[in-house]
Every structure is written in structure tokens, then in C-alpha cells.
Amino acid sequence: MKKQIISAFIFLLILNVSLGSISAFSQTISSKEENSIRMMSYNIRNAKGLDNVTDYDRIANVILWAAPDIIGIQELDSVTGRSNGVDVLDLLSRKTLMYSTYAASIDYNGGKYGIGILSKEKPINVLKVPLPCNDEPRMLLIVELEDYYFGNTHFSLNAEDRMKAVDIIKSEVKKLDPNKPFFFVGDINDIPESDIVKSLMSEFVSLVPNNQYTSPADNPIKCIDYIFGYNGVESWSLLTDKGVINEKVASDHRPLFADIRIHSDKESVFRTKPYLQNPTGNGITISWLTNVPVHSWVEYGVDGNLDQKMELYVDGQMIVNNFHHKYRLENLIPGETYNYRVCSREIAVYEAYRKEFGEIAISDIYTFRLPKENETDFSAIVFNDLHQRRNLIDLFSDLIADNNYDFVVFNGDNIDDPRNEKQAVASLSYMNEKVRAESVPVFYVRGNHEIRNAYSIGLRDLLDYVGDKTYGSFNWGDTRFVILDCGEDKIDDTPVYYGFNDFSGLRKDQAHFLNKEINSSEFKQATKRILIHHIPVYGLGENAYNPSLDEWGYILKNADFNVSLHGHTHRFEYHPKGSVDNNFPVVIGGGNSVESATVTILEKEGNKMSLRVLNANGVELLKKSL
């Protein structure tokens, strides 16, 4: 026991020593904003601190704590005798898990001495430019990343050399892609008031205030380290977080950092096409996602016009600087064909008293139409259990391409176990594009697989449920649709649910809803009535877990539906009325393989309604009049 206590004490002592150098500034750096880039510059004096101790871990800890995306480092040995053969930049690269790019300025002590860059993103290209020297040779190191260039340098102690270096940097930047921003950092060995820095500032802007001093580290009295941005390319913005880090010991210079945001080109602003949902109550919801924070609006109108505009406000404040966009257009005229497009203007900087904007992305113009109250004709497509199988949606979208369908229902287990937003958006967007959801509204019914995994609750950000519940009812013309949510396919206290579920309560709530619904005037006056839910109440088998039958069975026995549509079992089945104690025909769609998958086509013309079920090869498995 005593040995364990001593070992623990030694571990804590070592941990305290290793973190001691960064504790002084641990409260001065905030977390980097989303979609931003943190740049850093640090003259590390080859990791020799003001305490005359060479400590690579200490330098690495400073970098890790500041968490830059890219950093220019000056005064670096590479396998010199002075550094006992250590490749310092490579060592820091492994400790910080960043890519390393080195540029040697001189041969020194059996190795090299120069500058380097560490970056989280692997550089596309590298450029090394010698700078003038009357004494010690110097270098300009430039790496090209996907969205920007980043340079690093360490100017000479000779003023004439420094001025010539400025001219070379100005010349080199003009050789680069004029559409990409260029930033460079370094130890300029001159103060802001000098002719050298003034000459630089004619084409560059200093991103860290020049009154924040960097040298010497223990008691800085001058600014000689800088982060510059080239003002010849305007597609970037400086954010609030920037400054000199209060590190007093690890080197003879203090590090400095600046956060910037590179503007997106308009072609990259949209993450998804717009998609239509919830076309109920003379309204419709238009949703889309962007890759960057934006100010968005919808332009729409009839007769080919876009003369109406909608922006979103909550409590008097416009909803902006976001990535998810869900706009509900209300008081639309049934039967009218509407044109619309969505617009998103990038917000590059959103601060209390400063806003900066990028380009405006404008979608194509699309159309949609809501049915009249007593309209009789429509065509609807129903999918189930696609389980994110893109080959299936490809096959079925080809099969239904000639069908002029009015809306689409995804009846559960289509977005499979959503673990994060990226996965869910990729699946949702692919399905939406395949069924033309920018012009044809879609309904997403929740299956048991949409309920599982970390992002299951997050689906509410992407979907717009009827009445803001996962169950509800609506009319398409004179036809009534009722959607239910069966929840999970096992009891709530099943161990793998960890006590997070209460679908028993949800089913009880729906029993009240369902009883009220079938007694409503909207239900009774409809010419046809369609029930949709993922897990069948009828046709599961005697030994199957079927709590929905217990909760809803007595209500459904008296419900006058023309048909009910389901999935879940991965076996296509048709149960005529009365065959499994059912009060209406039951159709259960197929599974998630080419061999078992099906699509259901529901069509109504006048008072006649028909239903067809096709397999993935287009073979008609069922055709019924309802």
C-alpha cells in the first residue's frame, strides 16, 4: 500500500511539473469557433527555456493547449549535435499529432537549423524560398492547404536583409492562386514602428494587436513576432480570439495566435438541397442545411413570381448564424402552384457589435402545390425498411420515375440507427434527392431503427412531424391519413435500452389520440382513410411482442380504414380484411435486400382507390382496389 501511495505521489508530481508551464495561460484561450482556423507562431529557441532547460514536452504542451490548426515555428534544430541528434520538428509533430514541414536555413553542428510548420491538414504543396543574407541565411517556407496558403519565416538581424525579404514576400504572394488567402507568421526581428514592418503593412494586415509584446518572454517589452494576412484577397475574416499567450519560461519568446474564418464560395454554402415536408393545414415546411453559418430566407409566390419573402424571428430576434433551416409557410392557397427558392448568406463574423458576410447562395427555383379541400385525385409512394441501402432507393426511384406522384412516405427504418448528424444527413439527403423532395413533399414515419443510437433525438432537427409529434393525422384532398408511432420492438426495460425509453407511455398517448381521431368529423367525412405505422398491429404472429395491439386493438376494431400500410418484418405480406382479426386490409412491405424489398404505390381517382406493390425488379406483387 505504501508503494502505491508513493507511486501515485510521484505521478502527480510529474504531471504537475509537466503542466506547470501552461497553467499560467490556461484561462486565456477560449475554444475555437466552429468553421474557423487557429493560426499560431512560436519562436521556441530550440525548446531551450529561460530556465536553461531544453524541454520538448513543455513546448508540445504549449502547442496542445493552444490547439492551433497550423503553427509556424522558428529556431529548430534537425539532428544536430547540440540537440543530441533529435529531429525537433519531427518529435513535436509526433507529440502533437500534426503534419510537419521543415525548411533548413543553414547546416549546423552535424545537422540542420531552420524553421518549420506543423499542421492538422496535410499540405498539398510546399515552397521554400531563400531570403537575402549578409550574415546568416534565412528562409521563407510556404505550404498550400486546401483553402489557404500559410507561410513562416525568421528575418535576419540585418536591416538591409529584412527590407529585401519584405520585397521577396510581396513578390512571392503574387505568384500564388489569387483566389486563395495567404497568411504568414514569423519572428520579424523588428518593431511595428520600423520601416520594415510599415512596408509589410502596405499589403498585409497584422492579425494580433501590435501593442501585445512577445519578447523577452519573462517580461516582454517589444513586439517582434507577428501573424499577417494578405489584404489582396478579401475572402477571410479575423475573429475575436487572438493575442499573445502568457507563457514565460518555455522559450525566450512568447507564442501568439489568431483565429480566422475563410469565406465559403457560394457553390459550397448549401449542404443539401431544400426538401419539402408536412404539407398540411394550408402550409408546408421547407428545410435545408448549410455548411457554414448563414442568414437565410425563402422567396416564394404564385404565377411565376417570387414576390413574397420569409425570414424567421423568435422573441423579436431573427434566427441567423445557424446551419439547420426549417421554414414553415402558412396561409397558402390550396390548388395554387407556388414557386420558391431558398437563399443563404454566409455570416463570417457574428459578434456583439460587428458582423461580416460572405457570398449569397441562391438555390434553383422549384415548385410545389397543395391540394384543394375536396380534391379527389392523388398518387403517393410509400417506402419502408430501406435501411440506408442506396442501391434500393436507386432501383425504386427508376421504377417510379414516370409516376407523377404527389407525395412520398418513408414508413420507418430508412435512416438506420443514426449515430451522428453526418450519417443522418447523408442518408436523408440521398433519399430526398432521389424522390425529388425539393418539389414533392415527404413524410418521415419513425420506425424502431430511427429510435436507436446517439443522434436519434437529433432527427427532430432535420424532420418536421405533423403537429410536431411522431404521430398525427392530415388530409390530402378528401382522403384522411393517420400516422402512428409504435416505438421499439422490445419492452422498455430491455437492458440494451438502459432505462431511457417510455414507449408504453407514448402508446397510451396515441390511444387517446386515435380514439379522438376516429370520432372526428375530418375522419368521418373523408371518402378514404389510410392508416400508416411501421410495426404492424396485425400479422406479427401469436408469439411476437405486440403492445400496440393491447393499446390500440379495441379502437382499431371499430375504425373504418380502407387499408393499413406497414413494414418491419422484412417480408412482404397481404392480409385481407378479417384474415388475422383485422378490420381492414393490411399490407406489410418487404425488407432491405434486392430480393425482398418492395415499394407501395397508392393512387386515387375520383372515388376509386387502388394499391400496387412492386418488388425491386418492377414485378407487381399485389394490385388491389380499396
- Residue 558 in domain: yes
- Residue 78 in domain: yes
Q: Which three cell numbers stand for residue 103?
A: 525548411
Q: What distance in Å separates the CA atoms of residue 447 and residue 460, rounded to the nearest whole number? A: 14
Q: What number of other Cβ atoms are within 10 A of residue 209's Cβ?
A: 12
Q: How far is CA 161 from the centre of its chain?
A: 47
Q: What distance in Å separates the CA atoms of residue 394 and residue 49, rounded to the nearest whole number? A: 62
My answer on whether 43 and 130 are in the same domain is yes
- Residue 348 in domain: no
My answer on whether 480 and 615 are in the same domain is yes
Check whether 8 has a pLDDT greater than 90. no
My answer on whether 308 and 426 are in the same domain is no
Contact 431, 410 (CB under 8 A): yes
Q: Which three cell numbers stand for residue 570?
A: 422484412
My answer on whether 137 and 30 are in the same domain is yes
- Residue 154 in domain: yes
Tens digit of each residue's pLDDT (9 = 90 or more) over 56-85: 999 999 999 999 999 999 999 999 999 999
Cis peptide bond N-terminal to 216, omega within 30: yes
- Residue 330 in domain: no
Tens digit of each residue's pLDDT (9 = 90 or more) over 403-441: 999 999 999 999 999 999 999 999 999 999 999 999 999
Mean pLDDT of 115-136: 94
Q: What distance in Å separates the CA atoms of residue 267 and residue 220, rounded to the nearest whole number? A: 46
Q: Are strands 378-383 and 407-411 parallel, antiparallel or unpaired?
A: parallel
My answer on whether 250 and 291 are in the same domain is no
pLDDT > 90: what percent of the chain?
Answer: 92
- Residue 364 in domain: yes
Overall domain count for the chain: 3
Tens digit of each residue's pLDDT (9 = 90 or more) over 468-520: 999 999 999 999 999 999 999 999 999 999 999 999 999 999 999 999 999 99
Nearest alpha carbon to residue 414 among 442, 383, 441: 383
My answer on whether 243 and 288 are in the same domain is no
Check whether 94 has a pLDDT greater than 50. yes
Contact 256, 244 (CB under 8 A): yes
My answer on whether 28 and 172 are in the same domain is yes
Any bridge partners for residue 39, and if so which? 70, 258
Decide: helix, strand or coil at residue 422.
helix
Q: Residue 28: pLDDT band by 50, 70, 90 thresholds?
A: low
Check whether 300 has a pLDDT greater than 90. yes
Burial, 257: exposed, middle or buried (Cβ in 10 Å; 0-12, 13-18, 19+)? Answer: buried
Residue partners of 196: CB distance under 8 A and separation at least 6: 155, 159, 162, 163, 166, 188, 190
Domain that holds residue 582: 378-625
My answer on whether 459 and 390 are in the same domain is yes
My answer on whether 198 and 288 are in the same domain is no
Residue tagged 411522431 (cell numbers): 470
Mean pLDDT of 241-255: 96
pLDDT at 2 (0 to 100): 43
Whichever domain contains 606, its CATH number is 3.60.21.10
Q: Are strands 608-615 and 598-605 parallel, antiparallel or unpaired?
A: antiparallel
pLDDT at 33 (0 to 100): 87
Q: Which three cell numbers stand for residue 332?
A: 397558402
- Encode burial over 410-433: b for 16+ CB neighbours within 10 A, e otherwise: bbbbbbbbbeebebbbebbbebbe
Contact 146, 179 (CB under 8 A): no
Quote the mean pLDDT of the chain. Answer: 94
- Residue 292 in domain: yes
pLDDT > 70: what percent of the chain?
Answer: 96
Any bridge partners for residue 237, and if so which? 261
My answer on whether 364 and 495 are in the same domain is no
CA atoms within 13 Å, Cβ hemisphere of 267: 0
Check whether 317 has a pLDDT greater than 70. yes
Residue tagged 430501406 (cell numbers): 386
pLDDT at 20 (0 to 100): 45
End-to-end CA distance of the chain: 79
pLDDT at 136 (0 to 100): 86
My answer on whether 494 and 404 are in the same domain is yes
Contact 585, 591 (CB under 8 A): no
- Residue 489 in domain: yes
pLDDT at 78 (0 to 100): 94
Any bridge partners for residue 7, and if so which? none
Check whether 133 has a pLDDT greater than 90. no
Whichever domain contains 203, its CATH number is 3.60.10.10
My answer on whether 401 and 530 are in the same domain is yes
